[in-house]
Structure formats: C-alpha cells, structure tokens
C-alpha cells in the first residue's frame, strides 16, 4: 500500500518532488502537515483544510491516549472517522509530549513512566505500547517511540539517549505488524552531534523503514546549526525514502529544509500564532493587536487569494483579536495555514520547473 516515488530531483539543490501513496490517498511532497493535536486542527474545519489543499494532518498519540483514550477512538472506527477527515493522518509517537508535557517522568531502557498533565494519573509508555496505541488510532503513518534530546545536552547524554532511541526503534519495528495499512517511520536523533546523527541514521537504515524522520531539532539551537545537522544527516538516510523534519514549519525553515532534501514538515506555529492574534505575510509575522491596523481596510495579503483575504480586512481581524472573539482564531488559522501550504505548492512547482533558486530568492531569506 505504501510507496514513495520521486518524480523530480532538483538540479540546483537537494530538493525533490515525490509522491507518497497511503491508504487514504497520495501525498505530493514537499508537504507541510497542519497539526491536529487533539484530533482537531485548532479552530479549523476539515472542509477548510480541504479548501486550502492540506494533504495530510498530524495528530498526537500522547494527547489522544490520555483523552478521549485510544480505545474510544478505535471503537469510533479510527481517527479518520472520529474526526471527519478522510485524507492521510500521521501520528507522532508520543515521545516528545511525554518528555515535554507530562509530570514526574522516569525513563529507563524499558520505557517511560510518567504522570498525565491532565489529572496526574500514572502511565507507562514502551515502544510496544506506542505502536499499539497508534495501531488503535489507525493513522496512515505512525512514528517510532523516541526520546527528543533537550538542547543543550552533553555528548554522553546524547549518546546514551540515542542508543535508547535506536533500541526502541527496533522494538517498534518488531511490534508493528500491519505494515500494509500503516507505515512506521524511524526517527533519527543524536542531539547536535553530527557523528551521533550519522550513526543513528545508518542503524535505522539497516532496520529498513518505509520513511525516516529527523527529530530533536528546532529545540532552541540556532537555525544555522539545525541546517548543518540536516545537511550532515541527509546522506545517511535512504535517498529513495521520504525524509521528515519534525516540528518545523516557519516559512524560512520550510524553504531551507526542502533544498536540503526534506520532504515533510509539521508545525503548530501557524495555528498557535493565530490564537495570539498574529498573521503570516510576505513581510513576515504581523501582530494584529498593533494600533496601525485599526483603520487598515486592506486584506492581510492582497495576492493571497484565501477566503480570509478575499472577505476580511486587517481592521476587522484586529477588532476580532482585540475583542477576543473565536472568529479571530478561525480566520487567522485559515489564512496562516493556507498561506504556508500555498508557498509549499509554489515551491513544488518551482522544483518541477527547474526554478527552485529563483523561487526561493523572492523570499529574501537572511541566509540564502
């Protein structure tokens, strides 16, 4: 059921265009995946995601396991049916949230003991359990259970953690049976140490996953360092498999990632900034609370073409933000996701038309 076919390799950069076949349809890469943490992309209807040409969304194993419970989602007929989204879904493994959100976590080679951030209840995640939950959720792409190494971390910590992540990847692979309906991706860790990253990538490659991710980036390190890690890791994962940069999604990082060979991205930024009253424009992030927009009766982006830019002014959006109206989050999330996906679509077309460099130059990135 799963197949990744590269249909165009950029001659100017390491970018490529590919098609990933899944049980819920094809995904053309490079792709930005909106995040639907709790089985909803916050403040956005599934129909709106279709309108903005979202091809796949991400949902969160940790959150859905705790609430409503993966058993409930399974009884509902799986995540697609539960949340009314019939295109592909990727679920993360819960590793990141166990380490960032839960209380009193205790890690061992066997797994992680943690307390729920919701009610303090005690839980134990193992690689096998993370796979089982994702099997129950029924997502198209599932992720191996890993530890996201904090930044900074000393070499010994990073080495030890990466070894654990590798042993967990192997156990995930063994635990995951239904490879026809769900593709299990391995996750490269290794902190900010290129040799650990390379080692990890090689060992994961030996395990033969249908896709690979690079995790533990965008955790506070300088962007230049992140780009370097990507560049040095990319040669060590199979070139004919999708390569997914986890948790990254600002416009500059998307562009910089794609030309380094990244195929998939996800980020909560687009919807989170919306709830804070901010919008993505060609001049960067703008904060609609600013007084300058009070009587600005122009759209966020005249050339955007999205539902929001066609129908609403910055003055109205500012009013909604200032008045703490839910519609502010709805409209800004719509625009921010649409605008991001549109840029990725344009980038895909540029790669197909041997125009990658020219396309990216328009964005006036500081390090390009």
Question: Which residues have a catalytic role annotated?
Answer: 92, 266
What is the helix (H) or strand (E) element at residue 61, kind and residue range? helix 61-66
Among 26, 322, 357, 359, binds a copy of itself (CB under 8 A): 322
Gyration radius of the chain's alpha carbons: 20
Task: Give the chain's end-to-end CA distance (angstroms, integer).
Answer: 38
**Is 82 a residue that touches a copy of itself (CB under 8 A)?**
yes
Bridge partners of 279? 286
Among 270, 329, 336, 340, binds a copy of itself (CB under 8 A): 329
Q: Give the Cα separation of 329 and 171 in Å (integer).
A: 41
Give 163 or 296: the residue with its C-beta nearer to a copy of itself.
296
**Is 67 a residue that touches a copy of itself (CB under 8 A)?**
yes
Give 214 or 309: the residue with its C-beta nearer to a copy of itself.
309
**CA torsion through residues 336, 278, 42, 21, sign:** positive
CB of 309 to a copy of itself, least distance (A): 12
Whether the CB-CB separation of 314 and 288 falls below 8 Å is answered with: yes
Concatenating the DSSP letter of every residue in 89-123 gives EEE--SHHHHHHTSEEEEE-SS-EEEE-TTT--EE
CB of 289 to a copy of itself, least distance (A): 12
Binding segment (CB under 8 A) for a copy of itself, from list 78-86, 106-114, 154-162, 343-351: 78-86
Whether the CB-CB separation of 246 and 179 falls below 8 Å is answered with: no
Give 323 or 366: the residue with its C-beta nearer to a copy of itself.
323
DSSP 8-state class, residue 60: -
**Is 325 a residue that touches a copy of itself (CB under 8 A)?**
yes
The pair phi, psi for residue 298, each rounded to 5°, is: -110, 160
Bridge partners of 29? 18
The greatest distance separating any two alpha carbons of the chain, rounded to the nearest whole angstrom, comes to 60
CB of 307 to a copy of itself, least distance (A): 8
Among 318, 335, 342, 348, binds a copy of itself (CB under 8 A): 318
Among 105, 313, 346, 359, binds a copy of itself (CB under 8 A): 313
Among 289, 294, 362, 364, binds a copy of itself (CB under 8 A): 294
| Contact footprint for a copy of itself (CB under 8 A) | 38-40, 42-46, 63, 67-68, 72, 75-77, 82-84, 294-295, 297, 311-313, 315-316, 318-320, 322-323, 325-327, 329-330
């Amino acid at each position: 059921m799963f197949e990744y076919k590269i249909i165009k390799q950029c001659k100017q950069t390491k970018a490529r265009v590919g098609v990933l076949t899944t049980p819920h349809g094809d995904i053309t890469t490079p792709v930005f995946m909106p995040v639907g943490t709790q089985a909803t992309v916050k403040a956005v209807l599934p129909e709106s995601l279709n309108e903005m040409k979202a091809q796949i969304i991400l949902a969160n194993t940790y959150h859905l396991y705790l609430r409503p419970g993966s058993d409930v989602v399974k009884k509902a007929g799986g995540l697609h049916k539960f949340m009314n989204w019939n295109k592909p879904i990727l679920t993360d493994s819960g590793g990141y949230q166990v380490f960032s959100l839960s209380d009193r976590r205790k890690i061992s080679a066997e797994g992680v003991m943690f307390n729920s951030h919701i009610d303090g209840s005690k839980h134990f995640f193992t690689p096998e359990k993370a796979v089982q939950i994702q099997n129950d959720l029924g997502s198209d792409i599932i992720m191996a259970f890993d530890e996201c190494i904090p930044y900074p971390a000393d070499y010994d910590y990073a080495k030890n953690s990466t070894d654990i992540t590798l042993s967990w990847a192997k156990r995930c692979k063994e635990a995951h049976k239904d490879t026809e309906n769900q593709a299990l991706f391995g996750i490269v860790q290794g902190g900010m140490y290129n040799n650990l990253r390379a080692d990890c990538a090689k060992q994961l490659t030996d395990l033969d996953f249908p896709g690979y991710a690079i995790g533990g980036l965008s955790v506070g390190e300088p962007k230049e360092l992140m780009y370097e890690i990507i560049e040095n890791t990319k040669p060590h994962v199979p070139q004919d498999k999708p390569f997914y940069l986890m948790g990254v999604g600002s416009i500059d990082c998307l562009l910089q990632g794609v030309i380094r060979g990244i195929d998939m991205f996800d980020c909560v930024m687009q919807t989170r900034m919306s709830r804070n009253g901010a919008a993505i424009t060609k001049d960067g992030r703008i904060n609609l609370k600013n007084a300058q927009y009070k009587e600005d009766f122009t759209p966020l982006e005249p050339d955007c073409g999205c539902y929001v830019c066609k129908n609403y002014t910055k003055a109205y959006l500012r009013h909604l933000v200032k008045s703490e109206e839910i519609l502010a989050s709805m409209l800004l999330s719509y625009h921010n996701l649409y605008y991001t996906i549109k840029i990725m679509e344009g980038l895909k077309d540029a790669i197909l038309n041997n125009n990658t460099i020219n396309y990216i130059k328009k964005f006036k990135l500081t390090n390009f």
